[in-house]
Amino acid sequence: MLFSEKHEIEKEPDKLFLSRNPHIKFIAPAMVSMFILTIVPTVFLFIMSVTNYQLGWKFDRAKFVGIDNFIRLLSGRDPDFWHSVWISLLFMVVATSIEMVIGFLLAILLNSSEFKLKPLVIGLMIIPLAMTPSIAAQMWKLMFNSEYGILNYFLQVIFDTKVVWLSDTMAFWSILIVDIWQFTPFVTLILYAGLRSLPNEPYESAAIDGATQVQMFFKLTIPMLRKLINMALLMRSIDSLKLFDTAFVLTQGGPGNSTEFLSLHIFRLASAQNGLIGRASATALVLLAIITLFSKQLVRQQRKGEVE
C-alpha cells in the first residue's frame, strides 16, 4: 500500500501540487500577466542600463559599459540629474503632505455633518479622479494662460494684477496646484469611508471618561485609521514621485529645466532628440530604486504600528 501511494505521488506530482494548493489556478493568470508586464521589462531595462545603446541602433552595435551609466549620474557628469532628483523629492513631499492634510480635513467635515447635498458633493469629488491627468492638465493650461486665462481674469478684476503661471518661478507651483486639485479627493474619499466605518463604542466610553474631542481624535480616530492613512500616503507618494503626464502637458519640463522631474528627465534622454537609451534606462532604475526605498519604509512603518 505504501509503495503504491509513493508510486502515485511520483507519477502525478502536478495534480498533487494543485490539490494541495487549489488557489494557484486562480492566481496563475495574474502571475503570468505580472511576469510579462513587469518582470520582463525590468530585466530588459537592466540589460539596457549597462550598455551604451542608442535609439535606432541594431542591438549588436551596443557595447557593454558596466556601471558607467550609473557613475555618470551619481558623480554629477549629468548636470541635470541631481536637479531632477531634488525637485521630484520636493514635489512628492509637498504634494503628499498638502493632499493628506486637506483630504483628512475634508473627510472629517463630511463625516461630522449631514446635509441633503452630501451625495452631490461626493459625486463632484469623483470628477477630478475620473479625468486622465493629461486632460486635466490641458484644462488647467487654458486657465493658467497669462493673457486670457480665467485665473488671471479674476486676479485682474479683484486685485488688479496678473501672474505668469508657467514661468520659471511659478511653473513648479502651478503643477503642484493641479496635482492637489486632482488627487486630494482621492485621499478624502478613502479617509471618509474609513471614518464612516469606525465603531461608536470607543468614543462613547471615552466621553464617559471625560475625554475631549481633541483627545479622542489623536487617541482613537488616528490609531484606528492608521492602515488607511498609510495606504493613502503610500499611493500618493509613489504617484507624486513618478509624475509625468501633468508636467509634460503643462511645461514639457520647462522653462529651461525648472520642472524637469525624473520621469521627464528619462523621457528627454530617451527621446528622438537624444536617443540615449542606455543612460535613460540607468536613470529609470534609479527612479525605481527610490520608489522602492520609500515604499519599503512606509510599509515598515505600517507594520511597526500594527505590532505596537
Residues 39 and 188 both lie in one domain: no
Cβ-in-10-Å burial (0-12, 13-18, 19+) of 73 comes to buried
| C-alpha cell belonging to residue 205 | 466610553
CB proximity list for 116: less than 8 A, separation 6 or greater: none
Position 26 in a domain: yes
Range of the domain at 32: 4-49
Residues 164 and 231 both lie in one domain: yes
Residues 128 and 235 both lie in one domain: yes
Position 182 in a domain: yes
Residues 107 and 24 both lie in one domain: no
Residues 101 and 164 both lie in one domain: yes
Looking at residues 71-80, what average pLDDT do you find?
86
Instruction: Provide, rounded to the nearest whole percent, the portion of the chain with pLDDT above 70.
Output: 92
Residue 217's CATH number: 1.10.3720.10
Closest CA to 187 of 137, 213, 225, 146: 225
Question: Given this model, what pLDDT does residue 60 score?
Answer: 84
Task: Give the confidence band of 3 by pLDDT, cuts at 50, 70, 90.
Answer: very low
Position 151 in a domain: yes
Position 120 in a domain: yes
Question: Given this model, what pLDDT does residue 97 score?
Answer: 95
Residues 154 and 42 both lie in one domain: no
CB proximity list for 304: less than 8 A, separation 6 or greater: none
Residues 282 and 142 both lie in one domain: yes
Looking at residues 49-61, what average pLDDT do you find?
87
Looking at residues 159-164, what average pLDDT do you find?
90
State yes or no: pLDDT of 42 exceeds 50. Answer: yes
- The partner residues of 51 in beta bridges, in order of sequence, read 64
Instruction: Say which range, 168-172, 219-223, 263-267, has the weakest mean pLDDT.
Output: 219-223
Question: Given this model, what pLDDT does residue 294 score?
Answer: 84
Position 61 in a domain: no
Position 59 in a domain: no
Instruction: Say which range, 66-75, 110-119, 175-184, 251-260, has the weakest mean pLDDT.
Output: 110-119
State yes or no: pLDDT of 1 exceeds 50. Answer: no
Give me the DSSP letters along 198-231: S-SHHHHHHHHTT--HHHHIIIIIHHHTHHHHHH
**pLDDT tens track for 6-40:** 454 454 565 666 677 777 777 888 888 888 888 88
Residues 225 and 89 both lie in one domain: yes
Question: Given this model, what pLDDT does residue 185 score?
Answer: 94
State yes or no: pLDDT of 206 exceeds 90. Answer: no
Report the Cα 264 to chain-centroid distance in Å.
15
Length reported for the chain: 308
Count of domains forming the chain: 2
Q: What average pLDDT does the chain have?
A: 87
Position 291 in a domain: yes
Position 279 in a domain: yes
**pLDDT tens track for 235-289:** 999 999 989 999 999 999 888 889 999 999 999 988 867 888 899 999 999 999 9
Looking at residues 151-175, what average pLDDT do you find?
92
Question: Given this model, what pLDDT does residue 303 score?
Answer: 74
Question: Given this model, what pLDDT does residue 282 score?
Answer: 92
